[in-house]
Amino acid sequence: MYELTRDESGIAGAINRCIQVSVEKKTYVTTLQVSMQDPLIAATVADSVRARLQDYITEYRTEKARQTLSYVQKLYKEAQEEYYKAQEQYARYADANQSLITLRSQAEVERLQNERNLAYSTYTQMAQQLQMAKAKVDEITPVYTIIQPASVPLIPSKPRKAMILVGFVFLCGVGSVGWILFLQDWFEKRKKAQ
């Protein structure tokens, strides 16, 4: 568990407000937008967030398939060991009792051969399931294409200087009208009253 101080929490909140991520539902196009004062830092943060977001989405979407793959790999390894063990027992017994023609030795050879065949069947089934599990992980893993890479903008997107200029002109106009209509008479009345 991570515990942030007030300063760290404030910094994280400020960075959070600078980063915008949106996903288009139909095409699954993810748009990442970073707005900061320094354009180079904005591009660097955008690239870093993109990489972490890709890793997170890949991890999230493939987690179950990777767990299944891990389990099947374990079963495959066990089946392989059982097959090799049964094959070794069969070969050892068959070599040691090659000249014997007794029914007991023939029955034991047949039993060991059946165990070997059963172990081989299990081993081949696990090999097929392992290949299917690997294919499933590959199928589920999302493919990413960067439509527009993070780049350093040439002109700032915020604040818009034209909007600031219009805002100041508006405020000056309102202040001038207020001065002319209300405050100028009020100041003159006050001077005369003194």
Query: In which residue are the tokens 């350093």 written?
Result: 152
Helices 103-140 and 39-96: angle between axes, nearest 10 degrees: 170
Q: Do 49 and 146 touch, CB atoms closer than 8 A?
A: no
Q: Quick one: 182 and 112 in the same domain?
A: no
Q: Quick one: 11 and 60 in the same domain?
A: yes
Q: Quick one: 142 and 55 in the same domain?
A: yes
Where is average pLDDT lowest: 103-117, 122-136, 155-169?
Answer: 155-169
- pLDDT, tens only, 34-43: 888 888 888 8
Q: Quick one: 97 and 122 in the same domain?
A: yes
The H-or-E segment that residue 53 falls in is helix 39-96
Position 2 pLDDT exceeds 60: yes
Residue 69 lies in a domain: yes
What the block records as the tokens of 193 is 């009253």
Position 168 pLDDT exceeds 70: yes
How would DSSP label each residue in 129-159?
HHHHHHHHHHHHSPP---SS-----SS--SS
- pLDDT, tens only, 90-125: 888 888 777 767 777 778 888 888 999 999 999 999
Residue 1 lies in a domain: no
Residue 100 lies in a domain: yes
Whole-prediction pTM: 0.60
Q: Which domain holds residue 177?
A: 159-194
More confident residue, 1 or 156: 156
**Helices (runs of H) and strands (runs of E) counted in the chain:** 5, 2
Domain count, the chain: 2
Q: Quick one: 178 and 123 in the same domain?
A: no
Q: Quick one: 154 and 165 in the same domain?
A: no
Q: Quick one: 107 and 137 in the same domain?
A: yes
Residues 6 or more apart in contact with residue 50 via CB below 8 angstroms = 32, 146, 150
